């Protein structure tokens, strides 16, 4: 729970995961993993699974440069620019 009393999830695939770093657009977001050692670029849903409404990891990055490179590749340059203010490493 947060100070406001709103429940947040510790499950990385949940909409209300407590370590969302940035929502890049409706289909992509970046989270910090639950251990705090990497950022995860996630995509909503998976074409291979029946449950298409949760978040699935696409790239797992320890450095800002790697995360920006992966984000640019999958989400475009505008989305990648949002991440420029992150520290050099998770």
Domain boundaries of the chain, sorted by first residue: 20-83
d(CA 17, CA 13) in angstroms, rounded, equals 7
24, with CB counted inside 10 A (0-12, 13-18, 19+), is: buried
The whole-model pTM stands at 0.84
pLDDT reported for residue 4? 58
Tell me what pLDDT residue 19 has: 96
Please compute Rg for the chain using Cα positions: 13
Q: What does each of the 90 residues of the chain score in pLDDT, given as a tens digit?
A: 455 556 788 899 999 999 999 999 999 999 999 999 999 999 997 666 656 678 999 999 999 999 999 999 999 999 999 898 898 988
Could you tell me the CA-to-CA distances from 76 to 37, 53, 73, 81, 88 in Å, in that order?
25, 22, 6, 9, 20
pLDDT at 53: 77
- Determine the pLDDT at residue 6: 65
How far apart are the C-alpha atoms of 87 and 77, rounded to whole Å? Answer: 19
């Amino acid at each position: 729970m947060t100070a406001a009393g709103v429940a947040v999830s510790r499950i990385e695939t949940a909409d209300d995961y407590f370590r969302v770093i940035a929502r890049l657009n409706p289909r992509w977001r970046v989270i910090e993993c639950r251990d705090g050692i990497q950022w995860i670029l996630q995509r909503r849903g998976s074409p291979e699974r029946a449950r298409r409404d949760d978040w699935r990891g696409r790239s797992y990055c320890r450095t800002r440069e790697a995360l920006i490179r992966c984000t640019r590749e999958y989400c475009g340059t505008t989305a990648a620019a949002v991440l420029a203010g992150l520290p050099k490493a998770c």
